[in-house]
Amino acid sequence: MTEAIKRSLRHSVAARWTSLLIVSFTMLCGYYVADVMSPLKPLIEQQLKWTSAEYGFFTGAYAWFNVFLGMLIFGGIILDKMGARFTGILSSALMVAGCAVKWWAVSTHSLDHAVVPLLNVKAQVMVASLGFAAFGVGIEIIGVTATKVIARWFRGYEIALAMGLQVGTARIGTALALELGAPIGAYFKAVGAPVLLGVILLTIGLVAYVFYCAMDRKLDKTEEESGQSSEDEEAFRISDIREILSIKGFWYITILCALFYSAVFPFLKYAPDLMVQKFHVKDSWAGAIPGILPFATIPLTVVFGNYYDRKGKGASLMIIGSLLLVVVHFIFTVPFLSHWTVALAATIVLGFGFSLVPSAMWPSVPKFIPHRQLGTAYGLIFWTQNLVALWGIPYLIGYVLDRFCITGTRVVDGVSSPAYNYTLPMVIFTCLGLLAVVFGLLLKREDRIKGFGLELPCREQ
Ligand SMILES: NCCCC[C@H](NC(=O)[C@@H](N)CCCCN)C(=O)O
């Protein structure tokens, strides 16, 4: 056997980065669809006549199956048992199907005036939500899969940089959604137009993932030939879950993740509306300032990921990132700070926080969880994050807005919709950020006690 054959494919720089590029592209397409409805909120209220509570119901649907059917936990287990090829294709196909259902629901007139019996929910809201829920399963499981794929290819190499790049690339999808969603919707005078673009992108993402599968197969082969087959092939045991849950550091990082993302993802869902309602931005430009956030995080996740690889300080980076979140949300809370330049400056600072924490958090997990349990561990973290940050908090904010924050009526182009005061939701986001700081500190203390190495560099020196 020649030396070239004996070496695992993951030692090839080109192969490592190509695999990263492909899975990151599939994630980008998914993130576009995950966020494309946020800048459309004003248009949805005007055209489809949804209320904020209905919008919150729909937004929270993303996490329904993941949380209440435990799909993310099963997804993580399936990933550990069946591997990245099967799991990735399955989840990509689910994303396409879910988004197609959502597009149909917001485009058809056949659901007009229909209401789901017993639940008393508009049929259009319900069908769109079910589509979004199926899509949510796909995007979350492919997210777990991509993370494990990167952990496998980049073990001992630039793992934090690679995860940062993946998150950064995926967020280009969010940026595109926030920047283009409202203009496309306004141009076509249809909420469905930017969603249809999502169906097309997801189909391309699925094809890209099929290409990745060929590389994954080759990686398996070279690992086998070089005698480096990882522990992946060991069968999943139910005791793995018990083992993972017995690690206190795992709990701290999971809670920190849920709190941190609760103060970011639901905020992003409402940020375009906040810009209109508090900062007097025009409806068609609602997503322009929040759209800067993902753009800002693209280079920053790379810079901080690279820093973590080389210098370490993972727990400290998570604490600093959470602190920035508190400062920014507090600024958004103050009622008289309502000039759009304040929103712009605060959004840029938020970009630092939104890069610092993920750049350090995701590559920290393999420091205390063995590779063969990573799918299950990330599945559990994502499950908690879905429960709190992607379901509970968006729903709570929608409820709080409708119940406590309506101040009157706005009339745009002859169409009226409610006017909101966002102070109370922003107080909630600030408190979530504060709690994230507390759990960051607890994680740092636990790392000092147990020696996970969170403050050490990721890259083998
Ligand atoms: N390598 C782990 C990547 C996680 C990145 C993280 N995404 C999530 O946490 C997803 N569960 C939620 C995706 C929602 C899309 N708007 C991130 O920071 O984006």
**Which residue's CA is minimally distant from atom 6 of ligand 1?**
167
Q: Which two tokens stand for residue 25?
A: 């592209």
Q: Are 273 and 415 in contact (CB under 8 A)?
A: no
Q: Which CATH code for domain 8-219+241-460?
A: 1.20.1250.20
Q: How far apart are the first and last CA of the chain?
A: 29
Which run of H or E residues covers position 415?
strand 415-420
User: Which of these, 320, 415, 329, lies nearest to 361 by C-alpha position?
Assistant: 320
Q: Are 178 and 294 in contact (CB under 8 A)?
A: yes
Q: Which two tokens stand for residue 88?
A: 């990735």
Q: Are 138 and 91 in contact (CB under 8 A)?
A: yes
In order of 135, 334, 404, 429, 446, the CA distances from 247 in angstroms are 31, 40, 40, 28, 10
Ligand 1 contact, 24 CB (< 6 A): no
pLDDT of amino acid 230: 53
**Residue range 409-424: mean pLDDT, rounded:** 86
pLDDT of amino acid 1: 41
Give me the residue spans of the domains in the chain. 8-219+241-460
Q: Are 94 and 137 in contact (CB under 8 A)?
A: yes
The Å distance, Cα 143 to ligand 1 centre, comes to 7
Ligand 1 atom closest to the Cα of residue 146 is: 1
Q: How confident is the model at residue 421 (pLDDT cuts 50, 70, 90)?
A: very high
User: Which of these, 404, 392, 393, 320, lies nearest to 358 by C-alpha position?
Assistant: 320
Ligand 1 atom closest to the Cα of residue 31 is: 15
Tell me: ipTM over 0.90: yes
β-pairing, 115-116 vs 415-420, is unpaired
Pocket test for ligand 1, best of 31, 154, 265, 317 (most atoms within 8 A of CB): 265
Indicate the residue type of 242: R
416 forms bridges with which residues in the sheet? 411
pTM, to two decimals = 0.86
Ligand 1 atom closest to the Cα of residue 170 is: 19
Which run of H or E residues covers position 342?
helix 340-364
The Å distance, Cα 196 to ligand 1 centre, comes to 22
Q: Are 97 and 134 in contact (CB under 8 A)?
A: yes
What does the pLDDT look like over 387-399, one tens digit per residue?
Answer: 999 889 988 998 9
**Which residue's CA is minimally distant from atom 5 of ligand 1?**
167
The Å distance, Cα 339 to ligand 1 centre, comes to 30
Give residues with Cβ within 8 angstroms of 458, minimum separation 6: 158, 159, 160, 308, 309, 312, 314, 363, 367
Ligand 1 contact, 220 CB (< 6 A): no
Q: How confident is the model at residue 66 (pLDDT cuts 50, 70, 90)?
A: very high
Distance of CA 170 to the CA centre of its chain: 9
The Å distance, Cα 348 to ligand 1 centre, comes to 19
Ligand 1 contact, 75 CB (< 6 A): no
Q: Are 361 and 353 in contact (CB under 8 A)?
A: no
Which run of H or E residues covers position 220?
helix 192-225
CA distance 122 to 11: 54
305 forms bridges with which residues in the sheet? none
Q: Are 215 and 8 in contact (CB under 8 A)?
A: no
Ligand 1 atom closest to the Cα of residue 35 is: 16
CA dihedral sign, ordered 453, 454, 455, 456: positive
What does the pLDDT look like over 185-237, one tens digit per residue?
Answer: 999 999 999 999 999 999 999 999 999 999 999 999 998 887 766 555 556 67
Q: How confident is the model at residue 4 (pLDDT cuts 50, 70, 90)?
A: very low
